[in-house]
Structure 1
Amino acid sequence: MPNYRRARIEGATWFFTVITARRQRFLADEHAISILHQSVLATLQRMPFRIDAWVILPDHMHAIWTLPAGDKDFSTRWGLIKAGFSRKSNLPQASAPRRDGGLWQPRFWEHKIRDTRDYHAHMDYAHYNPVKHGLVTRVKDWPHSSFHRAVREGIYSADWGGVEPRQSGGNNFGE
């Protein structure tokens, strides 16, 4: 098995892409979204962090988190979220025993946010993703997104995303 190296930087802000196993589309179900939400809340109580952005699509999700000062353990948080979801869902589990029930790809993609420009590029990417995948034609029409909170906070205008935001270097940010 490869030895994956992850950066371990305390109190950093991270962009993540988490994908379901075999790109199963189980996150399209409202019940699944509710279970995922419960799992995230339970993890936040156990190991707090700030959610800067989160977008849930049928077969993957993107998130931006800021960890508390002195904390660098995003891997345990993702493990808790995935395992909590798998325990509470009624989805068929893989035959091989795994904490996450085999519903998720074993790993995830992470990127340390380097600066304000990088932060905004990843915020835009995450929030525009439902349009990119053809799920909606306007960002505001996707219900499973922190975009709505960002509009309330004045970060975006409600009509943002009518035109695809510019991406530097054509990045797919982990997809």
Structure 2
Amino acid sequence: MPSPQLLVGRRSVIGNVYAITMICRDRRPIFEDPGHAHIAMQVLDALDHQGLTTSFAWVVMPDHLHWLVQLRGKSLGYCVQRFKGRSSFLINRLREREGALWHPGYYDHAIRSEASLRKQARYILGNPVRAGLATRLGEYPYGWCRWPLDNEAG
């Protein structure tokens, strides 16, 4: 959940598209482990299959996650909490540990046009390129996009 100051004037609207960033607690590189990254991707996919969201793009970076998503069945806060809760439970079970996996809160930005949607998807998929984890779009194994995008880092 975002801080109370960020909630002033904020509305979560079913049908709207949002670019969301969630950060791991203390910026720990939890997703350097491929098993943990795969769990995060499976939870994103499950939210789509449950009818809560429609994902357009996402990338699981070593210590954070970017998600471009349309709300379908519940509020933004609910969907983010559902993702964080389920991914934390499954990753902690795999690690045989307990405790917070995610930093409290998240950053979101509403997308208002089709052009902005494609531009944001390209930007999200370009994160591993800009971080030196890949040399071109589509090379990084923990990213996905609904549309084919060109190979520039965006």
TM-score, normalized by length of structure 2?
0.83
Unpaired runs of 5+ residues, structure 1, are: 95-101, 166-175
Q: Which runs of 5 or more structure 2 residues have no equivalent in the other structure?
A: none
Give how far 1:3 is off: 4.0
Residue 110 of structure 1, aligned match among 101, 105, 108:
108
What is the Cα deviation at residue 35 of structure 1? 2.0
**1:58 corresponds to 2:67:** no
Task: State the match for 1:75 in structure 2.
Answer: 77
Residue 170 of structure 1 corresponds to none
Greater strand share, 1 or 2? 2
Report if the CA contact (8 A) 2:52-2:79 is conserved: no
Larger radius of gyration: 1
Give the length in aligned residue pairs.
Answer: 147
Write out aligned runs for 1:1-175 (5 A). Answer: 2-5=4-7, 6-68=10-72, 71=73, 73-90=75-92, 91=95, 92-94=97-99, 102-147=100-145, 150-151=147-148, 156-157=149-150, 160-161=151-152, 164-165=153-154
Cα distance in 1, alignment partners of residues 141 and 91 from structure 2: 21
Q: CA RMSD in A?
A: 2.0
- Supply the distance in 1 between the matched residues of 2:13 and 2:128 (Cα, whole angstroms): 30
TM-score by length of 1: 0.74
Cα contact 2:21–2:64 (8 A) shared by 1: yes
* Matched-pair contact (CA < 8 Å) for 2:40–2:60: no
Alpha-carbon distance, 1:48 to partner? 2.4
Same amino acid, percent of matched pairs:
26
Q: Which has the higher contact order (CA 8 A, sep 6+)?
A: 2
